[in-house]
C-alpha cells in the first residue's frame, strides 16, 4: 500500500504538505507509540518509586535511594506474602498444566460424543466473573467445614487456570501439520513413540506458554484469592490491604523485579525458539 | 476399544476436578441464594426455605450498583476496543520483524501486579501526582476538580487493566487477514474507509467478539478498580457482593446477587454472539 505514495518525494511539493503526508503515512505508528506509552506509564511509575527514599508511605517523592532494592524484605510481611504467592503459583501451574493439557489433547485430537459439551465446560469458567467463582467456591468450602487458607487457594487457582491452559495448548495442537505424525507412523513408529518423539516436542512450546500464562494469572490473582485464602497473605492481597495506609517501596521493588524477570524469560524463550526453527 | 476410551480417560481427571470445584460450587451457590436466616440464630446461620423473593429483594436493593456495573463495563469495553483495534492493526501490519517483540510488550505490563498498577494510577491522577496540577495550570480543569475518586477514574482504570485482553485476540484475528485482500479492495476503487468497513472489520470480527467478551465479563464483575479509584457513589455489584460476604455475612443475598450477575452476563453474551454472528469462541 505504501508504494503508492512514493511520488511524495517529487521536489515541487511544498514542505508543509510533505510533513502532512509523512504524518498521514505514519499515523498508525505514531498512534502505537502513544498506546504503548499509556500501557507503560504505571509500570514506569512503579519502577521509579521503587527508588524512593520514602519511609513508611510511598506517596510523595522524597529522594533517590538504592536501599529498597538492597533490602527487598525490609518491610514486614512483604517477603512472606511473596513466598506464598510463588508457592501457590507453582502448585497451581503444575496441576492446571497437566490437567489442561490432557483435556486439550482429548478435545483437539479426538472426535467423541460430548465434545461440544466439553468445549462448553471449558468456556464456562472463563465466562464466569471472578467474584462469582471465588464466592461460590468459598460457600462450598464453608459447607464442608473446610477453612479457607493455602490449599483452598491452590484449588481455586487451578480451577481458573485450567481453561486458559486448554485454550492455549489446543491452539497449538490445531496448528500442527498432521503429515508429520503420518510420516512418523510410516517410518514404523508406534502410536506411543510418535506421540513422544513427534507430537509432544511440537506441542511443547504451547505447553510452556500455557504454563507461563497460568503462573502469571495465579500470581496476579486477587479477587478469587481474597475469598478463599482466609488469613493467608499473598502478594496482591498484601498490596490491597496495605493500600489504605501506604504501600512500602519494597512492594514496588518486587513488582518491578517480577516485571523484568518475566520479560527476560519471555524474550529468552523467543530467541531459543527462533534458533530452533533455524 | 481402547481408542474410543482414550479421550474420556484424558478428560476424566480435569473434568472431575472442574465438576467438584466449579460446577458443584455453582449448584451450592444456587441453593444458598434461597436460604433465610434461622429464626433466633446467630449471624451467618441460614436454613433452606426456598425464598425466591431473595432475588427480588437483592435486585431492588442494589439496582443502582447493578446498572453501574453494566454501564461502566460497557463504556470500558468500548473504550478498550477503540484503543486496542488500531494498536493490534499496527502490530499485525506495520511492525515487520518487531511483531513478536511488540506482542510481548502488550502483555508485559501484566507482570507488574495489576494492583500495583491500579494504585500507581491512583497516585498519578491524585492530588500529589503530576497530571492534576498540570491540567489545572493549563486551565483544562478547574481548581476544585479532582480526577481520583470519580467514576471517570474507575472507568479509566478498568479500560487500562483489561486492555491486553482486548488487544491479543484482536491481533490474532487481524494477523490472519491476507494483506492481498486489502490490496484487492483498493484495486477495486474502494477508499481506505470502505476497505476497512467492508473487508478488514468483517474479517477481524472473531477477534472483536472474543476481545469484547474477555474485557466485558471480568469488567462487569470487577470491584478492585471501584474500590481503589472510586468513591462510595461509584460502587459496583462486585463491591456489594464482597461486603455482603465479608462484612455483613449475608450469604443468601451475596449468592442471589452473584447468580443474577452471572445470569445477566450469560444472557448478554449469548445475545451478543448471536448478533455478531460468530460461534467460534475459543
Whether residue A231 has pLDDT greater than 60? yes
Q: Which band of pLDDT confidence, cut at 50, 70 and 90, is reported for residue A214?
A: very high
Q: How many CB atoms lie within 10 A of CB B276?
A: 14
Whether residue A278 has pLDDT greater than 80? no
For an interface test with B, the pick among A44, A60, A131, A215 (most B C-beta atoms closer than 10 Å) comes out as A131
**What percent of chain A is predicted at pLDDT more than 70?**
95
CA A192 remoteness from chain centre: 32
Comparing alpha-carbon positions, the chain A residue that sits nearest to B122 is A42
Neighboring chain B residues of A109 at a CB cutoff of 8 Å: 7
Q: How far is CA B25 from CA A136, A271, B47, in A?
A: 5, 43, 17
Angstrom distance (rounded) from CA A44 to CA A62? 17
Q: How far is CA B245 from CA B166, B233, B260, in A?
A: 31, 20, 16
Whether residue A161 has pLDDT greater than 60? yes
- Of A91 and A241, which is predicted with more confidence? A91
Phi, psi of B47 (to 5 degrees): -130, 155
Yes or no, beta carbons of B224 and A222 under 8 Å apart: yes
Yes or no, beta carbons of B262 and A132 under 8 Å apart: yes
For an interface test with A, the pick among B46, B82, B115, B126 (most A C-beta atoms closer than 10 Å) comes out as B115
Does A121 contact chain B (CB < 8 Å)?
yes
Q: What pLDDT sits at residue B143?
A: 76
Q: What pLDDT sits at residue A9?
A: 53
Whether residue A277 has pLDDT greater than 90? no
Q: Could you give the residue range(s) of every CATH 1.10.3720.10 domain in chain A?
A: 76-247
Comparing alpha-carbon positions, the chain A residue that sits nearest to B218 is A129
Give one DSSP letter per residue of B39-103, joined into a string: TT--TT-EEE---THHHHHHHHHTHHHHHHHHHHHHHHHHHHHHHHHHHHHHHHHH-GGGHHHHH
Least confident stretch, A9-13, A163-167, A264-268, B61-65: A9-13
Q: What angle do CA B33, B36, B37 make, to 5 degrees?
A: 135
Angstrom distance (rounded) from CA A114 to CA B13? 16
Prediction ipTM score: 0.85
Q: What pLDDT sits at residue A2?
A: 47
Report yes or no: B212 and B129 within 8 Å, Cβ to Cβ. no
- In terms of Cα–Cα distance, which of A70, A84, A38 is closest to A249? A70
- In terms of Cα–Cα distance, which of B252, B267, B163 is closest to B214? B163
Give B20-27 contacts, CB < 8 A, sequence gap 24+.
B21/A137, B21/A140, B21/A155, B21/A156, B21/A158, B21/A159, B22/A124, B22/A125, B22/A128, B22/A133, B22/A137, B22/A159, B24/A140, B25/A133, B25/A136, B25/A137, B25/A139, B25/A140, B26/A128, B26/A132, B26/A136
Neighboring chain B residues of A236 at a CB cutoff of 8 Å: 113-115
Residue recorded with cell 490474532: B172
Yes or no, beta carbons of A131 and B238 under 8 Å apart: yes
Kindly state the average pLDDT of the residues A174-186: 84
Q: Which band of pLDDT confidence, cut at 50, 70 and 90, is reported for residue A179?
A: confident
Neighboring chain A residues of B15 at a CB cutoff of 8 Å: 103, 118, 121
Q: Tell me how long chain B is.
A: 282
Yes or no, beta carbons of B265 and A139 under 8 Å apart: no
Counting one residue from chain A and one from chain B, the pairs whose CB atoms sit within 8 A come to: 242
Yes or no, beta carbons of B90 and A31 under 8 Å apart: yes
Full 3-state SS string of chain A: CHHHHHHHHCCCCCHHHHHHHHHHHHHHHHHHHHHHHHHHHHHHHHHHHHHECCCCCCCCCCCECCHHHHCCCCCCCHHHHHHHHHHHHHHHHHHHHHHHHHHHHHHHHCCCCCHHHHHHHHHHHHHCCHHHHHHHHHHHHHHCCCCCCHHHHHHHHHHHHHHHHHHHHHHHHHCCCHHHHHHHHHCCCCHHHHHHHHHHHHHHHHHHHHHHHHHHHHHHCCHHHHHHCCCCCCHHHHHHHHCCCCCCHHHHHHHHHHHHHHHHHHHHHHHHHHHHHC
Buried residues in A81-106 as b, exposed as e (16+ CB within 10 A): bbebbbebbebbbebbbbbbbbbbbb
Yes or no, beta carbons of A263 and B111 under 8 Å apart: yes
- Of B226 and A267, which is predicted with more confidence? B226
- Of A77 and A277, which is predicted with more confidence? A77
Yes or no, beta carbons of B87 and A32 under 8 Å apart: yes
Angstrom distance (rounded) from CA B121 to CA B35? 41
Q: Tell me how long chain A is.
A: 278
- In terms of Cα–Cα distance, which of B122, B257, B255, B104 is closest to A246? B122
- B188, burial (CB in 10 Å: exposed 0-12, middle 13-18, buried 19+): exposed
Neighboring chain B residues of A29 at a CB cutoff of 8 Å: 90, 94
For an interface test with B, the pick among A129, A133, A227, A236 (most B C-beta atoms closer than 10 Å) comes out as A129
DSSP type of residue B38: P
Neighboring chain B residues of A60 at a CB cutoff of 8 Å: 128
Local structure of B35: helix, strand or coil: strand
Its pTM stands at: 0.86
Query: Which top CATH class is B54-276?
Result: mainly alpha
Q: What pLDDT sits at residue B126?
A: 84
Comparing alpha-carbon positions, the chain B residue that sits nearest to A133 is B22
Whether residue A43 has pLDDT greater than 90? yes
Kindly state the average pLDDT of the residues A200-228: 91
Domain range summary for chain B, segments of one domain joined by +: 54-276
Yes or no, beta carbons of B26 and A127 under 8 Å apart: no
Q: List the pLDDT tens digit at each of the 282 positions of chain B.
A: 457 788 888 999 999 999 999 999 999 998 888 888 877 767 667 888 888 888 888 888 888 999 999 999 999 999 999 999 999 999 998 888 888 888 888 888 888 888 999 999 988 888 777 788 788 888 787 777 777 788 999 999 999 999 998 998 999 889 888 888 888 888 888 888 888 888 888 888 888 988 998 899 999 999 999 999 988 888 999 999 988 888 877 888 889 999 899 888 888 888 887 877 654 444
Record: fold of A76-247: MetI-like fold (1.10.3720)
Instruction: Establish how many alpha carbons lie within 13 A of residue B191's alpha carbon, considering only the half-sphere containing its beta carbon.
Output: 1
A positions 51-80 inside 8 Å of B (CB):
59-60
Yes or no, beta carbons of B124 and A125 under 8 Å apart: no
**A209 Ramachandran zone, left/alpha/beta (phi>0; psi -120 to 50):** alpha
Select from A32, A133, A143 the Cβ nearest to the Cβ of B90: A32
Angstrom distance (rounded) from CA A240 to CA A255? 13
Q: How far is CA A11 from CA A22, A26, B149, B181, B228, in A?
A: 14, 20, 55, 33, 56
Q: What pLDDT sits at residue A257?
A: 92
Yes or no, beta carbons of B22 and A125 under 8 Å apart: yes
Whether residue A164 has pLDDT greater than 50? yes
The enclosing H or E element of B229 equals helix B224-229
Q: What pLDDT sits at residue B1?
A: 41
A positions 164-183 inside 8 Å of B (CB):
166-167, 170
Instruction: Establish how many alpha carbons lie within 13 A of residue A176's alpha carbon, considering only the half-sphere containing its beta carbon.
Output: 23
Whether residue A151 has pLDDT greater than 90? yes
The enclosing H or E element of B178 equals none
Amino acid at each position: 500500500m505504501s508504494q503508492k505514495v512514493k511520488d511524495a518525494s517529487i521536489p515541487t511539493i511544498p514542505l508543509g504538505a510533505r510533513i502532512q503526508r509523512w504524518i498521514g503515512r505514519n499515523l498508525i505508528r505514531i498512534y502505537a507509540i502513544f498506546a504503548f506509552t499509556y500501557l507503560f506509564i504505571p509500570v514506569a511509575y512503579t519502577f521509579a518509586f521503587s527508588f524512593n527514599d520514602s519511609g513508611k508511605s510511598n506517596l510523595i517523592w522524597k529522594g533517590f535511594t538504592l536501599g529498597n532494592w538492597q533490602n527487598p524484605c525490609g518491610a514486614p510481611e512483604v517477603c512472606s506474602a511473596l513466598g506464598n504467592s510463588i508457592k501457590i503459583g507453582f502448585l497451581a501451574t503444575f496441576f492446571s498444566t497437566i490437567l489442561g493439557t490432557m483435556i486439550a489433547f482429548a478435545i483437539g485430537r479426538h472426535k467423541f460424543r460430548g465434545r461440544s459439551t466439553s468445549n462448553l465446560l471449558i468456556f464456562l469458567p472463563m465466562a464466569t466473573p471472578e467474584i462469582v467463582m471465588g464466592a461460590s467456591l468459598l460457600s462450598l468450602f464453608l459447607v464442608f467445614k473446610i477453612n479457607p487458607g493455602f490449599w483452598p487457594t491452590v484449588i481455586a487457582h487451578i480451577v481458573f487456570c485450567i481453561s486458559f491452559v486448554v485454550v492455549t495448548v489446543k491452539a497449538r495442537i490445531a496448528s500442527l501439520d498432521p503429515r508429520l505424525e503420518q510420516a512418523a507412523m510410516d517410518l514404523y513408529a508406534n502410536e506411543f513413540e510418535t506421540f513422544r518423539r513427534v507430537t509432544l516436542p511440537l506441542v511443547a512450546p504451547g505447553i510452556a506458554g500455557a504454563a507461563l500464562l497460568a503462573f502469571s494469572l495465579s500470581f496476579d490473582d486477587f479477587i478469587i484469592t481474597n475469598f478463599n485464602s482466609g488469613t493467608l497473605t499473598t502478594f496482591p492481597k498484601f498490596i490491597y490491604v496495605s493500600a489504605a495506609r501506604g504501600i512500602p517501596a519494597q512492594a514496588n521493588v518486587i513488582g518491578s523485579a517480577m516485571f523484568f524477570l518475566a520479560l527476560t524469560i519471555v524474550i529468552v524463550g523467543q530467541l531459543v525458539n527462533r534458533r530452533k526453527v533455524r | 476399544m481402547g481408542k474410543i476410551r482414550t479421550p474420556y480417560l484424558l478428560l476424566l481427571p480435569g473434568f472431575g476436578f472442574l465438576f467438584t470445584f466449579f460446577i458443584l460450587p455453582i449448584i451450592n451457590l444456587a441453593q444458598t441464594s434461597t436460604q433465610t436466616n434461622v429464626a433466633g440464630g446467630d449471624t451467618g446461620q441460614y436454613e433452606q426455605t426456598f425464598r425466591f423473593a431473595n432475588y427480588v429483594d437483592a435486585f431492588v436493593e442494589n439496582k443502582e450498583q447493578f446498572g453501574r456495573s453494566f454501564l461502566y463495563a460497557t463504556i470500558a469495553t468500548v473504550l478498550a476496543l477503540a484503543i486496542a483495534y488500531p494498536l493490534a492493526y499496527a502490530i499485525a501490519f506495520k511492525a515487520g520483524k518487531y511483531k513478536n517483540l511488540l506482542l510481548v510488550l502488550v502483555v508485559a505490563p501484566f507482570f507488574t501486579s495489576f494492583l500495583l498498577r491500579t494504585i500507581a494510577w491512583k497516585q498519578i491522577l491524585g492530588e500529589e501526582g503530576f497530571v492534576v496540577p498540570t491540567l489545572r495550570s493549563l486551565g483544562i480543569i478547574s481548581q476544585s476538580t479532582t480526577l481520583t475518586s470519580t467514576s471517570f477514574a474507575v472507568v479509566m482504570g478498568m479500560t487500562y487493566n483489561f486492555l491486553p485482553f482486548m488487544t491479543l485476540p484482536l491481533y490474532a484475528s487481524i494477523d490472519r487477514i491476507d494483506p492481498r485482500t486489502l490490496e484487492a479492495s483498493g484495486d477495486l476503487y474502494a477508499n481506505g474507509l470502505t476497505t476497512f468497513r467492508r473487508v478488514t472489520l468483517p474479517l477481524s470480527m472473531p477477534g472483536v467478539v472474543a476481545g469484547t467478551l474477555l474485557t466485558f465479563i471480568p469488567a462487569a464483575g470487577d470491584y478492585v478498580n471501584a474500590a481503589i479509584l472510586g468513591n462510595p457513589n461509584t460502587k459496583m455489584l462486585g463491591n456489594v457482593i464482597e461486603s455482603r460476604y465479608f462484612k455483613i455475612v449475608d450469604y443468601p443475598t451475596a449468592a442471589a446477587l452473584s447468580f443474577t450477575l452471572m445470569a445477566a452476563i450469560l444472557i448478554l453474551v449469548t445475545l451478543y454472539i448471536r448478533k455478531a454472528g460468530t460461534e467460534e469462541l475459543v
